[in-house]
Amino acid sequence: MADAINLFFLGKGGVGKSTSSALYSVALADKGFKVLLVSLDPAHNQGDIFAVPISSKPVAILPNLHVLEIDQDKWVKHYLSDVHQQLRHSYSYLSAFNLDHHFKVLKYSPGLEEYALLLAFKEITKKYRNYDYLLFDMPPTALALKFFNLPRLSLLWLEQLLTLRREILKKKEMITTVKWGKQEKEQDKVLNRISSMQLEHTELQQIFQDRTKTLIQLVLNDDKLSLAESKRIVTGLQQIDIDLNCLVKNKTTYNVFYITTTPGSLSSYCTGAKNMRIKPGTTNSNSASAIPAINLSNHG
């Protein structure tokens, strides 16, 4: 069975990401697709939108639509527990030196939120791959961009760790040879773990950059602040080779919208007829970088 297609809804806080993702999920479910809407935003709103209690397990809204909200604190604890176990497994001697209690400082490490979100994403895409679409209601800009950038950043860090570990093992082998003679090489737990993490983050990076698997929907309003932040989002995504798939213009009475991936062109759009709830937008045939757009108006 093919994996589900991932749709992410990004945008400035307050532009209507939750509402847009909810409407989009209902529209897809109405067309017969099996849809799971996932709130990755710590300030969950989907329960209020659908007027039903939502938990960390899928809740049925329509025959083809389920919704869940991740428990970020739970995933932070899960991540810390995993790191703790890996450290204890690779450095079991630390307990003998009474250094085990220093592991507790990990809960104050920067970047825990995005790691927790990434763990949740990995689990959800694996566990619910039988759906046609997985829609992700994302947190505001800063955390969302850190989430998408995390695999690339982790790979850069892991590459340095890999080089350092190999150098350590090389020197360790030289000392062992001098002291004990030629010994059979043992598998290094740390090196194996680094290689495993490299593979995991490479796969995540490829998923985010693959437009057949991941579709990025940028939600914005017709105001200067929203447009300015949308430019920063586009720039941030371009820097990590992630393309936008669609723009959603919310809180407007117009239903025809055009925008390009070029940050400087984000203020160039066309407006047209009124009173449509969800309608495919138009694109400029003269621009190869045009993005399809959907308008969500206040009507209907």
Q: Which two tokens stand for residue 15?
A: 């532009």
Answer whether 235's CB lies under 8 Å from 218's CB.
no
Residue 91 has pLDDT above 80, yes or no: no
Spell out the residues 6+ positions from residue 229 whose beta carbon is closer than 8 angstroms to its own. 11, 12, 141, 220
Give the predicted TM-score (pTM) of the model.
0.77
Residue 256 has pLDDT above 50, yes or no: no
d(CA 157, CA 161): 6
The residues spanned by each domain of the chain are 5-73+113-150+206-297, 154-202
Q: Residue 110 has what pLDDT?
A: 63
Q: Which two tokens stand for residue 293?
A: 């757009």
Per-residue pLDDT band at 250 (split at 50, 70, 90): confident
With the CA atoms of 257, 261, 263 and 265 taken in that order, what torsion angle do they form, in degrees rounded to the nearest 10?
Answer: -40
Least confident of 193-197, 232-236, 272-276: 272-276
Residue 137 has pLDDT above 90, yes or no: yes
Per-residue pLDDT band at 246 (split at 50, 70, 90): confident
Q: Residue 42 has what pLDDT?
A: 83
Q: Between residues 147 and 274, which one has the greater pLDDT?
A: 147
Residue 105 has pLDDT above 70, yes or no: no
> CATH class for domain 5-73+113-150+206-297?
alpha beta
Residue 162 has pLDDT above 50, yes or no: yes
By the 10 Å C-beta count (0-12 exposed, 13-18 middle, 19+ buried), 155 is classed as: middle
The per-residue pLDDT of the chain, averaged, comes to 77
pLDDT tens digits, one per residue of 68-89:
999 888 888 877 777 777 666 6
Answer whether 252's CB lies under 8 Å from 223's CB.
no
Question: Among the ranges 200-209, 238-247, 269-278, which has the highest mean pLDDT value?
Answer: 200-209
How much of the chain exceeds pLDDT 70, in percent? Answer: 70
Q: Residue 265 has what pLDDT?
A: 39
pLDDT tens digits, one per residue of 54-65:
988 999 999 999
Answer whether 261's CB lies under 8 Å from 238's CB.
yes
Answer whether 79's CB lies under 8 Å from 119's CB.
yes
Q: Between residues 144 and 111, which one has the greater pLDDT?
A: 144
